[in-house]
Chain A
Amino acid sequence: MEKFIIFRLSDELFGVGIGRVVEILNLPQANHLPETPEYIVGVINVRGELVPLVDLRKRFGLGSMPKKERVVIVRCPEKTGLVVDEVMEIKGFVPGDISSPPEIFRGIRTEYLKGLAKLDQDRIAILLNMERVISSEEQIHLSALRK
């Protein structure tokens, strides 16, 4: 059984494997940086470590429905903060719960996706493939911000 952190972006639920997650924080005041892509919110200081923030809503072209905005710090492989609308729960899935995604799913390219998991009777969580979500080019960009 693999555990996932389930969070919400707009009115969609997403999951990230807990192995990649470092911690969850309240959204602090971010220092916005000039000449960066729109979805890079800025840089935050987490206990003396500079961590760039990526707004996944903007990355996926979704609207914002903030309720309890949180930052999920993931390792991919450097620490990167994902701004989400709300962290829902920690959920474990057996491999049978996860199905492979269709070609196009609600406007999100399938290359970002690891699969779709049934949360309960009527809810589906999109499990993200973090390596794909943040491309190598973007990683260079983000690592430049950490310095």
Chain B
Amino acid sequence: MERPDTDMMDGFSFKKKISRNFILILLAVLVVCQGALWVWILHMQRTSQARNLESRVRGVSLLLSGVASQALTASDFGDIDHAFQSLPDSDKDIISVRALDTNGAAISQRQLRDEPENQGKGGFFFLPATGTLSTPVMSASGGKEGSIEVHYSAADANSQIRRALLIFPLAQLAVLALIAFIAFYFFQRKIGYPINGINQKLGALANGDLTVEIEAGGADEMGSITEGLRHLKENLGITIAQLSQSSSDVGMAIRQISKVFSSVNTGVQEQGSAVSDIFMALQKAGEFQDSVKNGTEELLEFSSENVTSLLEVRATADEIAASTGKLFQAVDDSYAAVEELTAAAGKISENAQNALSSIEQTSATVEEVGSSVKEIEKGAAESSKLADQVRKAAAEEGVIVVAEAIEKMEQIAEKIKFSSDIVSRLGTRSKDIGGILSIIRNVTEQTNLLSLNAAILAAQAGEYGKGFSVVADEIHALSERTAASTKEIEGIVKTIGKEISQTVDSIGQMFSLLESGMEIFYKAGTSTAGIVTAAQDSAKMAHTIQRATEEQGRALQQITMAVEHIRDMVFEMARATGEQSKGTGFLLDKMSEVREIAEATKMGTYGQAQGTKHISENLETANERISGMKKIIDKQQQSSKEVVSSVEQIQVIGHRTLRDTEEISYSLTTLQAEVEALAREVQKFRLNGKVHNIQAK
């Protein structure tokens, strides 16, 4: 365990130390506790001193009062004086004694010593400087004879108290100093030194010294803190070493990049200047080219003029040659024409024969076609007639018949409706009959009832009622008969009603049947109208067909006539061509003579023309070459212009590249500076192994 250096204590002066504060607090607590104890002890001492003094004085007083009791009783005051005189001087506490009678008058007194100068009234620690104790003197009989007053001094007791007052604080100070020293020593040993050590190491670490050794501490809190610090230091060391390594690498890389970049920069600049040179050179070359081009154009112009004049000469020669050639050609052509004519005449004759035969065939075919067309025409006419008939039939008869049928049906419907009405009226009537019948039935029943009652009355009348009884029986029989007839009529009427309702039903059915029939007729009417339209359409079409066939027939007749005409003509032609063919043979013989003469003339003119042509050709070749040259120059100029523009672009790109490289260079410089700063920071850490020295240039 090292003692802290004064240097290391710079940041931690004694005032700010934990140990000082701790000790001061401890001492303050001790001072307070001890002070309280001290005050209490002193107070106790005062009390005990006071008690001690009082008991001594009381002893003297009691002794004196014993003597005084006898003396006062015997009125022998000499004893009192004697007793007073015999009091030892050694007792420093008693100042004076007095004997008083019952009236308080002093009988005897003795002053042992002077009154003390200091007349303190005492306090918390000290006793009052003087005190008086009065003791009553009692006679043997128990009466009060007087009193003894003892005046005493507490100087002795107070001096003892004062001594104690001095000794206690001194002792306490000594104890406190001892405690402070012990506390400080132990505090320093257990806390202060370890903390100082940690502080020291932290300071070293903060300053970048990672070489400091940190020993493992004990098992207490300080030990764990030290351990943690050691771990921190190791990890920091590793991290810093890595950082240092990578910063060094980065530095190197950046240096290399910088180097490369500066060369790139130089290269780009050089390239830029080279491009500028090229551009200049190209511009100059362009100028040269322009002058070359101008020269060539002039040359071309001259050469063209030459060619033109020569061409004129050549044309004249050519014309002569051509005229001669033409003459010969004409002769030649005539001959060839005659020859061809002869051949053609032969061929024509042959063809005419062929044509004649094919026309014969055609004529026959046309005649056949004509006959079939006639048949078609006949058929078309018939079909047209039929279509007309159909149309007429459909239009007139069909429609009329359907309409009539519908009319009839409607009439039937009306009739049926009428009869239906009648039948329903009949039904109503039969119901009326039913009503009348029910009235008749009621009347009959009533009659029956009356006849019964009459019979009852007749029976009750006995012999006298016999005649009436017969009448009543008759009436009864009549009513019975009436009832029977009514029943029959009722049955008949019921049957009629049933039949009427059946009739109504059947009429209804008939009516619905009629309606469906009428519907069918209406449909028939509609479809008949459709048939009529279709028939009309077909008739129209049949007419059209008929007309077309007629026209076709007429056209065929014309064709037949034309074919016959052609046949005649061809026949004529065949004959004529045969004669012509003979004539052309003679002409051919005469023509071959003329041809031989023309051949000789042609040979002469041909030679002259050939020479002129040669010169002209050479000149044209030269002219062509010049113009070719011009073209090449033009092309070259074009391409050199393109080159110039490309170079301009390159220049622009070069400028941009330059700017970019400058920017990159600037960024690199900045980066480098940053890396250097980092390296410097890292360098501040002193590591155990090799110390990295990163210095970017």
B459 contacts A18, C-beta separation under 8 Å:
yes
A19–B457 Cα distance when bound, in Å, is 9
Asked if A23 is at the interface (CB within 8 A of a chain B CB), the reply is: yes
Asked if B460 is at the interface (CB within 8 A of a chain A CB), the reply is: yes
A23: contacting residue among B445, B456, B476, CB under 8 A: B456
Instruction: Enumerate chain A residues within 8 angstroms of B453, measured Cβ to Cβ.
Output: 23-24
- Beta-carbon contacts under 8 Å, B433-469 to A: 445, 449, 452-453, 455-456, 459-460
A3: contacting residue among B445, B449, B459, B476, CB under 8 A: B459
Asked if A46 is at the interface (CB within 8 A of a chain B CB), the reply is: no
Q: Mark B457-488, 1 if CB is under 8 A from A, else 0.
A: 00110000000000000001000000000000
A19 contacts B460, C-beta separation under 8 Å:
yes
- Beta-carbon contacts under 8 Å, A1-48 to B: 3, 5, 18-19, 21-26
B459: contacting residue among A22, A70, A90, CB under 8 A: A90
Nearest A residue (CB) for B446: A26
Instruction: Enumerate chain A residues within 8 angstroms of B445, measured Cβ to Cβ.
Output: 68
Most B CB within 10 A of own CB, among A5, A21, A68, A70 = A21
A18: contacting residue among B449, B460, B476, CB under 8 A: B460
A70–B449 Cα distance when bound, in Å, is 9
Instruction: Enumerate chain A residues within 8 angstroms of B455, measured Cβ to Cβ.
Output: 90
Asked if A87 is at the interface (CB within 8 A of a chain B CB), the reply is: yes
A49–B460 Cα distance when bound, in Å, is 21
- Beta-carbon contacts under 8 Å, A30-77 to B: 68, 70
Instruction: Enumerate chain B residues within 8 angstroms of A23, measured Cβ to Cβ.
Output: 453, 456
A91–B453 Cα distance when bound, in Å, is 13
Instruction: Enumerate chain A residues within 8 angstroms of B452, measured Cβ to Cβ.
Output: 5, 24, 87, 90
Min distance, Cβ B395 to any Cβ of chain A, angstroms: 74
Nearest A residue (CB) for B473: A90
Q: How many inter-chain residue pairs (CB < 8 Å) link A and B?
A: 28
Min distance, Cβ B470 to any Cβ of chain A, angstroms: 13
Instruction: Enumerate chain A residues within 8 angstroms of B449, measured Cβ to Cβ.
Output: 24-26, 70, 87
A25–B476 Cα distance when bound, in Å, is 15
Instruction: Enumerate chain B residues within 8 angstroms of A87, measured Cβ to Cβ.
Output: 449, 452
A3–B465 Cα distance when bound, in Å, is 13
Instruction: Enumerate chain B residues within 8 angstroms of A68, measured Cβ to Cβ.
Output: 445
- Beta-carbon contacts under 8 Å, B64-111 to A: none
Min distance, Cβ A70 to any Cβ of chain B, angstroms: 8
Min distance, Cβ B439 to any Cβ of chain A, angstroms: 15
Min distance, Cβ B487 to any Cβ of chain A, angstroms: 13
Most A CB within 10 A of own CB, among B452, B453, B460, B476 = B452
Min distance, Cβ B263 to any Cβ of chain A, angstroms: 141
Nearest A residue (CB) for B451: A90
Nearest A residue (CB) for B453: A23
A77–B237 Cα distance when bound, in Å, is 150
Instruction: Enumerate chain B residues within 8 angstroms of A24, measured Cβ to Cβ.
Output: 449, 452-453, 456
Nearest B residue (CB) for A17: B459
Instruction: Enumerate chain B residues within 8 angstroms of A22, measured Cβ to Cβ.
Output: 456
- Beta-carbon contacts under 8 Å, B348-374 to A: none
Q: Mark B316-355, 1 if CB is under 8 A from A, else 0.
A: 0000000000000000000000000000000000000000
Min distance, Cβ A33 to any Cβ of chain B, angstroms: 26
Instruction: Enumerate chain A residues within 8 angstroms of B459, measured Cβ to Cβ.
Output: 3, 18-19, 90
A12–B459 Cα distance when bound, in Å, is 24
A68–B456 Cα distance when bound, in Å, is 19
A105–B489 Cα distance when bound, in Å, is 41
Min distance, Cβ A36 to any Cβ of chain B, angstroms: 28
A141–B397 Cα distance when bound, in Å, is 96
Min distance, Cβ B284 to any Cβ of chain A, angstroms: 151
Nearest A residue (CB) for B442: A26
Instruction: Enumerate chain A residues within 8 angstroms of B476, measured Cβ to Cβ.
Output: 89-90
A111–B453 Cα distance when bound, in Å, is 29
Instruction: Enumerate chain B residues within 8 angstroms of A89, measured Cβ to Cβ.
Output: 476
Min distance, Cβ A13 to any Cβ of chain B, angstroms: 16
Instruction: Enumerate chain B residues within 8 angstroms of A70, measured Cβ to Cβ.
Output: 449
A25–B446 Cα distance when bound, in Å, is 9
Min distance, Cβ B679 to any Cβ of chain A, angstroms: 132
Nearest B residue (CB) for A19: B460
Min distance, Cβ B443 to any Cβ of chain A, angstroms: 13
Most A CB within 10 A of own CB, among B445, B455, B459, B476 = B459
Min distance, Cβ B387 to any Cβ of chain A, angstroms: 83
- Beta-carbon contacts under 8 Å, B272-290 to A: none
Instruction: Enumerate chain B residues within 8 angstroms of A18, measured Cβ to Cβ.
Output: 456, 459-460
A131–B678 Cα distance when bound, in Å, is 151
Q: Mark A102-144, 1 if CB is under 8 A from B, else 0.
A: 0000000000000000000000000000000000000000000
Min distance, Cβ A79 to any Cβ of chain B, angstroms: 14
Nearest B residue (CB) for A87: B452
Instruction: Enumerate chain A residues within 8 angstroms of B460, measured Cβ to Cβ.
Output: 18-19
Instruction: Enumerate chain B residues within 8 angstroms of A19, measured Cβ to Cβ.
Output: 459-460
Min distance, Cβ B659 to any Cβ of chain A, angstroms: 131
Instruction: Enumerate chain B residues within 8 angstroms of A21, measured Cβ to Cβ.
Output: 456
Nearest A residue (CB) for B457: A23
Min distance, Cβ B457 to any Cβ of chain A, angstroms: 8
A87–B455 Cα distance when bound, in Å, is 13
Min distance, Cβ A86 to any Cβ of chain B, angstroms: 11
Min distance, Cβ B476 to any Cβ of chain A, angstroms: 8
Nearest B residue (CB) for A90: B455
A19–B460 Cα distance when bound, in Å, is 6
A24–B459 Cα distance when bound, in Å, is 14
Min distance, Cβ A146 to any Cβ of chain B, angstroms: 22
Interface of A toward B, CB cutoff 8 Å: 3, 5, 18-19, 21-26, 68, 70, 87, 89-90
Knowing that A5-B452, A18-B460, A19-B460 touch, tell me 4 more A-B residue pairs with CB under 8 angstroms.
A3-B459, A18-B456, A23-B456, A26-B449
Interface pairs A-B: 8 shortest CB-CB: A18-B459, A90-B455, A3-B459, A23-B453, A24-B452, A21-B456, A24-B453, A18-B456
A–B complex contacts, Cβ < 8 Å, 22 sampled: A3-B459, A5-B452, A5-B456, A18-B456, A19-B459, A19-B460, A21-B456, A22-B456, A23-B453, A24-B449, A24-B452, A24-B453, A24-B456, A25-B449, A26-B449, A68-B445, A70-B449, A87-B449, A87-B452, A90-B452, A90-B456, A90-B476
Interface of B toward A, CB cutoff 8 Å: 445, 449, 452-453, 455-456, 459-460, 476
